[in-house]
A and B are shown apart, each in its own frame.
Chain A
Amino acid sequence: MATRLPGTDVVIVGLGAAGGVAALPLAEAGLDVIGLEAGGRLTRRDFAPDEIRNNVRAWPFSVQKCANEVPTLRRTRSDTAAQSGGHPMMNAVGGTTLHYWAQSWRLNPWDFEVVSATTRRYGRSRLPAGSTVEDWPFGYAELEPWYDRVEHEIGVSGQAGNLNGERGGRGNPFEGPRARDYPMPALRWTGFLEGMADSARSLGWRPFPGPAAINSRAYQGRSGCLYHGFCNRGGCHVDAKNSPAVTTIPRAEATGRLKVVTHAHVRRIETDNRGRVTGVTYLQDREEFFQPARFVLTASYTYENVRLMLLSKSRAWPLGLSNNHSQVGRHYLSHHQGAGVTALFPYDLHAWYGLPAQGVAVDDWADDNFDHGGLDFIGGGNLWVYSDRRPISAAGMSTFGRAPAWGSAWKAFVRENADRTNSAYIQKTTLPYESNYLDLDPVVTDPVGDPVIRVTAEYQRNELAIAEFLQDRMEQWYRAAGAVEVQRGGLGGQMGVSTHAYGGTRMGDDPETNVVDRYGLSHEVPNLGILGASVMGTSGARNPTLTVQALAWRTADHLVNNWRSIVE
């Protein structure tokens, strides 16, 4: 029998990128908030510069609740799904933002209106067959104030390319207009990155430094980045990576209104006979608790948000919470960021002390920034060259057919070339399709007996066409910079379990095709909100976290401004 705890105004399930941000405006408005987090707290002393622990042994993922509930995968509904590898996210106060790469992009305005913009420019027939893509319920301009807010509140470094409609300088000429510049300049470039930027310009492209939730100088009393080279899957040893764990969460706790409960494994959202949410049930040290709340915000990862809805069945919600229109789990996509390109250069790149968020981007081939009139796809990709290398992975480099994989000849090869290779993964427009979805696996469960998520999804023709087109551009760029060998990855097939997983509880005005409304509140359950990329209907060609955080802040503001009408 669950122990019933004293009630609260708001329960947030998950204190990562989304929940960790939303907690601040709620707490500052005077609402009592309880943040239930499946992981514990980590500090900067936990983040040793150790490739074996961080990268080889994948410590961020190995002790977590989510490691016990890895989704199963299959390409189509006629295949049998199976678990493969681990869960890509971690549980902790701050979540995966503790060790993520921290690229903090705004979406391009086109990403909010793929349907109408494509129809306008090329005709409706150019929308890929089988896609369930919709325009967002609002455009870029609606979200801009929250992008701005998050960039300044957590700290994002970058280079503006479009300040109130004025374009120019070193920034991205294709970005939507921004009201203010970034609060910090972009992270520095290495000589190699400067050279790549020169090469891009020689091709007529417009390179620019990417944005990152990493301090390029001291900000809000925390250190600037020290570029030590262990950012990739490593937390920051000086708190220069602006996870909510070191930004919004401590500030929310300081108001006295946010109570953080760690190692809380939420199993169900509970409802009353009318279908209203009454609170959540969670396990802690094998003991069960019921936490009553007037409003529940689920802010776990895409797979877990969907899973919690589907597991929370009741008489009022026989198909799962907020699922009377059978939309929970639909419109799912894993960002296409495979089909990478790797190059070998005849000179050292001096990449040992870089980080993945320190790089040069090209958006000339992203979104609808180029004419697709003669092409057989819509959308595109963001080209991103970054500086990141550690010794074990460097020694494990491809030998490009120039040497065997071991022995004295291999040794001579890596001695010369360990610092001469660079790989680009390319983030591509990825669309939702009728045939790609999430549901509960009929067989596989976690240790407490709850089914895990099953992913049924594969990339479609549009994504594969973008992948091929972008690999050509990436090879062109590497060759212009003097690459002597270039290798390409496969174009992609099955959608894997991804750190960029979108959809499943999509946001939109139409309750027939969307789970949450334009503010992130359930269409069906009056006192339930959903935060995270599970509400996003398009991926764009760039990392989702900043958009997730802007949406989370916006949902929290809406809740604060309409608190009485929503909960009463």
Chain B
Amino acid sequence: MSAGHYWLVIGGVLFVILNTAAGLIWLERRMLALWQDRYGPNRAGPFGLFIVLADTIKLFFKEDWIPPFADKVVFVFAPAVVVASVLLSFTIIPFAPNVVVADFNVGVLFFLAMSSMGVYSIVLGGWASNNKYALLGAMRGASQMISYEVFMGLSLMGVVIMSGSFNLSEIVAAQKNGWFILPQCVGFFIFLIAGIAETHRLPFDIPEAESELVAGFHSEYSGMKFGMFFIGEYMGITLISSMVVTLYFGGWLGPAFLPPVIWFVLKTFVFIMLFILLRASMPRPRYDQLMEYGWKILFPLSLVNLLITAAIKLLI
């Protein structure tokens, strides 16, 4: 891989990810509207696409206000963490053969490490706001994300056992003869659910829960600092979708009539749509229900899945 190619990949990934995250603002609102028999934003520009631009300009020009009772350093630091951790996670995703920023041999672990770093944005943001709703949201977020990280890791291990590697490119290559969704469908469901909880998207948006906690951990945030949380959430959706595609749906593998990148983007797009559909159709579970569901159903299930996968791998 030459240096020029390398920088091209980094620039391309950064450009595509940030634009996707911005575009998702529009896409989500349009799709939610479609599923609720509405139109959504359709005035500004073709199909209302310029709403993204308007939203961005609005976020940039809003007053960047730090509450006087907040812990200033941590308050400013927290939103940066979410964007940084999600963007760093994108470095390990193979978008196509040879189109990957860092071909890490512990890629899966790096992804887990970065998602566990993402917890800090919620916790610190909520704590630094010095606001009871923000604090409650932060506490909920911390416990939710820590517990769902556990089964997220465990459900991933089935894939790791089957492919025999932590390297995502090798995992994709190992799916040449069949995607891992079939043998690992339990792992897939656990990973998907944990991924939704990890990005704290609806129905698991308990740290935000606008009907109970105002806006949860980002109640006090405004302007571009709120925008970072906002963009971080959409990038998280893209990240989880592309991880699901990479791990269970063969990544860039696909019939040869389309280039691999297109296959990857198409599959990722399907999962982004699934995320939006979930938001459109699911009610939010209660907090204890969420934890109970995680620890009493998903956790044993992922352990059993891991055990069975390991046993089959050992016997065959």
Tell whether A pairs with B: no
A binding-site residues for B, Cβ under 8 Å: none
B binding-site residues for A, Cβ under 8 Å: none
